[in-house]
Amino acid sequence: MVRIGLTGGIGSGKSTVSQRLGELGAVVVDADQLAREVVSPGSQGLRAVRERFGDGVVGPDGALDRGALGGIVFADERARRDLEAITHPLIAHRTGQLMAEAGEDAIVVHDVPLLVEKHMGPAYHLVVVVEADHESRLRRLEGRGLSGHDARARMEHQATDEQRRAAADVLIDNNGSVADLVTQVDRVWQERLRPYADNVRTRTRARRPDVPTLVEYDETWPQQADRLIARISAAMGARAPEIEHIGSTAVPGLAGKDVIDLQIGVPDLHDADDPEFVRTLEDLGFPRSKDNTMDNVKDELPDPSLWVKRFHGSCDPGRVVHVHVRETEGAGWQYALLYRDWLRSDAQARADYLTEKHRLAGTCATTSEYAEAKEPWFNHIWPRMQAWARRTGWHS
């Protein structure tokens, strides 16, 4: 199963996106709909709400009087928390039921208005954010009968555009027509969501052309890495006690291949071979590569046992990720962190490395050849790294 979190500010067009994804084959779980369901007439939730807030919040027809309830909870923070304590567990339970019923091969779209505000992003394989400028959103809300004042008030109580962009793996622009929006949704479904789900089901890494292509530094690389780390940490818990962003994308200003490298630190590499460890990462979209079990041995530490690791790729066709699993006391873990931190602090080191990267990218035909050709450089700069570490008192 692939879980997609869908969100967007009020008036952004999120409901249209949700509807279209359902038409394409996704199983849509609508948080707003469930919030209404759990307090429907005769429900356990409505009985609890009535007991806490009184008969005045239930109309003559036995249904919840949302206006009366809103008048209480919007003016009283404690009352709002009490209401959430009643409804949130019921909504979570029903959400879990619907996701379980969807089946292992489903693409489940969880439509959640406050996904960013509630920091729910780590629960999903991807977060899709629908975005529109304030003027377009106001115009749509006023067209539904909401006053400009009320529309602005609701928008101000939601996350900012910047906060939603930081949470977004996929950003859908809805400043155009409905037809334009549907075209974007169809493209995301065909080019990313459907292939992603197929890859998770078959435990297949997504691959790009095997050509060493360097790109300029992307300011969003650290945000992308942070989202990935948060997902892995949420799923793995204590099995992944340390996770670090490494490689060129972790060095501000440095050009490199558009690949996010992460490393998970474990006390003992046997922990990484536990079936539950492997299964959890694979369910999250990071299948194990069984033939990649060693870092390249460096001349200064020639003992191969110090460089053993495990490696997981990514099923996401829109984001190449390499996950290296290493012992935190091992040479591979220490080298990756020292190399990253040295490059971050030393402008000349970055310049020298970039020169070498461009030279090799221009002469190597494949990424494998490129990676192998860099090894002499990594041996060559070891003394410079060690000298910097001693001078600065560096430690991992």
Give the tokens for residue 91: 């909504």
Please state, as a whole number, how many other Cβ atoms lie within 10 Å of the Cβ of residue 260. 24
What angle do helix axes 66-73 and 77-102 make, rounded to 10 degrees? 120
Are the C-beta atoms of residues 314 and 320 closer than 8 Å to each other?
Answer: yes
374 in a labelled binding site: no
Q: Helices (H) and strands (E) in the chain — how many of each?
A: 17, 9
Residue 15 annotated as part of some ligand binding site: yes
* Distance of alpha carbon 138 from alpha carbon 268, whole angstroms: 55
13 annotated ligand binder = yes
CB 132 within 8 A of CB 176: no
Rounded Cα distance, 265 and 326, in Å: 5
256 vs 61, 167, 382, CA distance in Å? 64, 23, 20
Cα–Cα distance between 39 and 50 in angstroms, integer? 10
Which of 130, 220, 213 is CA-nearest to residue 170?
Answer: 130
- Residue 14 labeled ligand binder: yes
**Contact between residue 127 and residue 115 where contact means Cβ atoms under 8 Å apart:** yes
Residue 11 is labelled as binding a ligand: yes
Q: Dihedral of CA 182/188/191/193: which sign? A: negative
CB within 8 A of 337, min separation 6: which ones? 244, 246, 396
CA 192 vs CA 152, 188, 204, 319, 382: distances in Å: 34, 5, 14, 10, 40
CA pair distance 43, 99, nearest whole angstrom: 21
Q: What are phi and psi of 338, to 5 degrees?
A: -65, -45
* Residues 266-287: b if buried by 16+ CB within 10 A, e if exposed: beeeebbeeeebbebbebbbbb
Do residues 342 and 348 make contact, with C-beta atoms less than 8 angstroms apart?
no
Binding-site entries: 11-16
Binding-site entries for ATP: 11-16
